Structure formats: C-alpha cells, structure tokens
C-alpha cells in the first residue's frame, strides 16, 4: 500500500500536527508527505524528518489551499483583520493554483492507494479520480457550503474527531467514523514536578493554563477578564501558544501587566507545562473540547470548560475522568466562581494515560477498508 499524507500545519507541536505525528510514527506502511512552504519558516527539514518517523519515504513542499474562513469564528474580529484574512485566503489560493498541476502530477506518477488530508481546510484538493480520506478536526461554520459539500462528497472516507465535528457536516452523505485524537501522556512519568516548578518559577502556586493557537474563537480574552476579576494572588494563568498577532496584542493589553498572567508563546516542551498545570481551561462560547482538553485529562489535570451536563455524553472515556471536569456557562459569572474556589486547591494526585495503541488499531482498520 502506498499512502500520500498532506498536512496544512505551520508547526509540529499543537493540535492537528501533534495528532498527525502520532499517526506517522506508528504507521506500519511507507508514506510520502506533502507540507506547505509556511512550515519551513519555523521548522527545519531535519525536524520534519524526525517528526515523520522512519516510514516516511519522501517529502515534498508545495503551496496548499488553506481556506481558513470555513472553520473560523470571525464575529469579534475587527473589519481590518477580517479583510486581511480574506486577502490571505486569496493569496493562498493563487499560490496553490501555481502548484496545483505539480501536486496532481506527483499523485499520478506515484499511483498512491490513499491520499490522506490532515484537515478540512484542504478540501479543494479532493477529486473523484483518487481515493481521498479527510480528517475533519475543525468545526465547520457553514460558509461556502455548496463548494465544501461538493468536494467532500467525492471523498472515500471522513474521519471526525468527535460528534460535534460530525454534526456540523451531517448532510454530507459519505462513509464516516468518529475517532478521538491520539493522546499519549505516559512520558510525564519521567518528569519531576518540583524541579519544573522551580525552573518556571511556579513554586507554591495554583496553575491555570490555556494551550494552543491564540484565536478569537477560543475566548482567551474572556478567560483573562474573568481571571483578573476573581483569582487569588496565589494563582497563575499560563497562556501557551502563538496565533493571530492582532488578537494576541488585544489579550496582552487586557492583561494590564498583571504579573499573574504569563504569555508563554509557542514551545517544544509543552508536556512540561501540562505537568505543572493544575487546571486547563477553554473559553469558547459553546461546549468545545479539542486536543488540549484530552491531553490535560490524560495528564490528570482537571479541566474547566463551557457547557452543560448533557454535553458530557459527547466525550470519550468519560468514566475515567468525569470528576475532573468543571463546567461553566459563559453567559454568567460561573467562571469567576470557578476561579475563586479552585485558586486555593492544587491538583496533587497525578497518573498518566495513553490511548495510542487502540487508536492506531482502529486507524489501520479504516485505512485497510478503503
């Protein structure tokens, strides 16, 4: 079997890129990899080769059709930022147009059995001529529905990371499966929490953390505001990641130089920060989980997320960590109340979990069925 893997990610650390790394390192067949030019701005070819593992046969660099508008919530963005995003999408499509023939020529000449797309935003690549599998990791927002549906209906299989992502595309009648992200936090067993707390100057603090891309949809500004109003002086809020430059500036301005709020930028050693964290937070306006929440739970952190009790049925492995989940309504003072109560309670008991073995068993079955 010959597989072509295509990834849109501009990093190898967070979200879709981290999940893909687990898959690539555990595949039992050889594959080729296509990534975007953008990745080379932050990552060396040596790092990419290490990330992909020993089964990678070859890698190629092309401009890819990253259409971010179909998965972003731009409600609270300024007009300037929205216009800039549209121009960025247009630029991506124009650049992709220059490389499009080269991509399909590569596919044709190698006669791949499966072409695996690591994100919904790559949907313009899908054609009837080849066997495409699309991993839908994002919540589709309904924009460009006719075009998105038309392309997705040409795919052989859709893999959704949860029921919410599937629900958003329920009218696309293509064989599909829901499969949680691969998460492996076993490696934290070899770390020393006290040493890390000293290294990060976090001794005797209750640590609240946000991980991932800094974008409006994740409500980081909201979490900062509620933290400032309510958390004790004994607590710290870590904001780990990079993202939208304008939004990041907005968040830093909102923090008002509060010494308890630390912007940690993008880091390769993100697992260390899970280990020192007591609580991991999401600030979305609706129930949302994502990879970072599962990583936190598998690292035996507790999590604070928007939603209601009925939403929990959408989660995987709920019996394992139900008592570690704190729900709040974003349209109330409940997050303030959580900060007030939990900023005096450290999470001491830690065990570490992994689902990668079972994940890869199911993933291989999916690939072999196509």
Q: Which residue has the higher pLDDT, 251 or 139?
A: 251
Whether residue 184 contacts residue 221, with contact meaning beta carbons closer than 8 Å, is answered with: no
| CA–CA distance, 327 with 305 (Å, rounded to integer) | 5
Residue pair 24/53 in contact (Cβ under 8 Å)? The answer is: yes
- pLDDT reading at 75 higher than 70: no
pLDDT tens for residues 126-165?
999 999 999 999 889 899 999 999 999 999 999 999 888 9
Please write the tens of the pLDDT for every residue from 315-368. 888 888 889 999 999 888 999 999 999 999 999 888 999 999 999 999 999 989
The beta-carbon contacts of 17-20 under 8 Å, at least 24 apart in sequence, are 17/118, 18/291, 19/137, 19/181, 19/182, 19/291, 20/118
First-to-last C-alpha distance (Å) of the chain: 11
Lowest mean pLDDT among 61-70, 246-255, 273-282: 61-70
pLDDT value at position 79?
72
The pLDDT of 1-23, averaged and rounded, is 90
- Better-scored residue on pLDDT, 106 or 16: 106
Q: Residue 77's pLDDT is what? A: 63
- The dihedral region occupied by 121, where left means phi > 0, alpha psi between -120 and 50, and beta the remainder, is alpha
CA pair distance 206, 28, nearest whole angstrom: 42
Q: What is the pLDDT of residues 43-70, one digit of tens each?
A: 899 999 999 999 999 999 999 998 777 8
CA 237 to chain centre: 20
Which listed CATH number (3.40.50.2000, 3.20.20.70, 2.120.10.30, 3.40.50.720) goes with 186-342? 3.40.50.2000
> How high is the pLDDT of residue 107?
97
Between 86-100, 254-268, 272-286, the lowest mean confidence (pLDDT) is in 86-100
CATH of 3-182+356-369, one of 3.40.50.2000, 3.40.920.10, 3.55.50.30, 3.20.130.10: 3.40.50.2000
Say which residue, 183 or 243, is predicted with more confidence.
Answer: 183
Q: Average pLDDT over the chain, rounded to whole? A: 91
Q: For 186-260, where are the alpha helices, taking DSSP H only?
A: 193-199, 220-230, 245-255
Give 74's pLDDT tier (boundaries 50, 70, 90). low
Q: What percent of the chain has pLDDT above 70?
A: 98
pTM recorded for the entire structure:
0.84
Residue-wise pLDDT tens digits, 23-45: 999 999 999 999 998 888 888 99
Task: Report the distance separating Cα 87 and Cα 80, nearest Å.
Answer: 11
Strand, coil or helix: 129: coil
Q: Are 32 and 56 spatial neighbours (Cβ–Cβ below 8 Å)?
A: yes
Of 13-17, 44-48, 207-211, 234-238, minimum mean pLDDT range: 13-17
* Residue with tokens 């699309």, as numbered in its chain: 134
Contact between 64 and 36 under an 8 Å Cβ cutoff? The reply is yes
pLDDT higher than 90, residue 3: yes
The pLDDT-based confidence of 84 (bands split at 50, 70, 90) is confident
Instruction: Supply the DSSP string of 285-314, one letter for each residue.
Output: SS---HHHHHHHHHTT-EEEEE--GGGGGG
84 vs 39, more confident = 39
174-194 mean pLDDT: 93
Name the segment(s) of the chain with CATH classification 3.40.50.2000.
3-182+356-369, 186-342
Report how far residue 120's alpha carbon sits from residue 130's, in angstroms, rounded to the nearest whole number.
Answer: 17
Closest by CA to 72, choosing from 202, 226, 243, is 243
299: pLDDT strictly greater than 80: yes
DSSP 67-117: -GGGT---TTS-HHHHHHHHHHHHHHHHHHHHHHHHHHHHHHHHT-SEEEE
pLDDT at 128: 94
Residue 352, SS3 per DSSP: coil
The pLDDT value recorded for residue 330 is: 87
Q: What percent of the chain has pLDDT over 90?
A: 68
Structure confidence at residue 216 (pLDDT): 86
């Amino acid at each position: 079997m010959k597989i072509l893997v295509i990834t849109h990610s501009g990093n190898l650390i967070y979200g879709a890129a981290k999940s893909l790394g687990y898959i690539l390192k555990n595949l039992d067949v050889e594959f080729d990899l296509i990534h975007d030019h953008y990745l080379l701005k932050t990552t060396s070819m040596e790092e990419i080769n290490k990330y992909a593992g020993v089964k990678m046969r070859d890698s190629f660099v092309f401009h890819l059709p990253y259409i971010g508008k179909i998965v972003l919530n731009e409600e609270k963005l300024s007009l300037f930022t929205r216009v800039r995003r549209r121009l960025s999408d247009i630029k991506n499509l124009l650049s992709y147009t220059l490389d499009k023939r080269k991509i399909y020529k590569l596919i044709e000449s190698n006669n791949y059995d499966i072409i695996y797309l690591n994100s919904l935003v790559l949907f313009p690549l899908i054609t009837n001529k080849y066997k495409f599998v699309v991993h839908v990791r994002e919540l589709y927002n309904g924009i460009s529905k006719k075009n998105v549906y038309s392309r997705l209906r040409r795919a052989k299989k859709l893999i959704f990371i949860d029921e919410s992502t599937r629900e958003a595309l329920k009218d696309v009648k293509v064989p599909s499966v829901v499969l949680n992200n691969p998460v492996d936090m076993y490696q934290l067993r070899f770390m020393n929490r006290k040493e890390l707390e000293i290294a990060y100057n976090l001794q005797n603090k209750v640590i609240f953390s946000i991980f991932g891309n800094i974008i409006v949809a994740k409500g980081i500004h909201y979490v900062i505001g509620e933290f400032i109003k309510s958390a004790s002086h004994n607590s710290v809020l870590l904001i780990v990641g990079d993202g939208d430059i304008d939004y990041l500036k907005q968040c830093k301005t909102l923090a008002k130089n509060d010494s308890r709020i630390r912007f940690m930028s993008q880091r390769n050693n993100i697992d260390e920060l899970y280990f020192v964290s007591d609580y991991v937070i999401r600030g979305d306006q609706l129930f949302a989980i994502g990879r970072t929440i599962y990583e936190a739970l598998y690292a035996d952190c507790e999590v604070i997320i928007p939603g209601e009790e009925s939403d929990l049925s959408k989660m995987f492995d709920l019996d394992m960590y139900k008592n570690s989940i704190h729900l709040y309504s974003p349209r109330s003072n409940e997050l303030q109340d959580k900060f007030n109560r939990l900023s005096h309670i450290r999470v001491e008991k830690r065990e570490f979990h992994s689902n990668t073995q079972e994940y890869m068993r199911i993933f291989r079955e999916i690939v072999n069925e196509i």
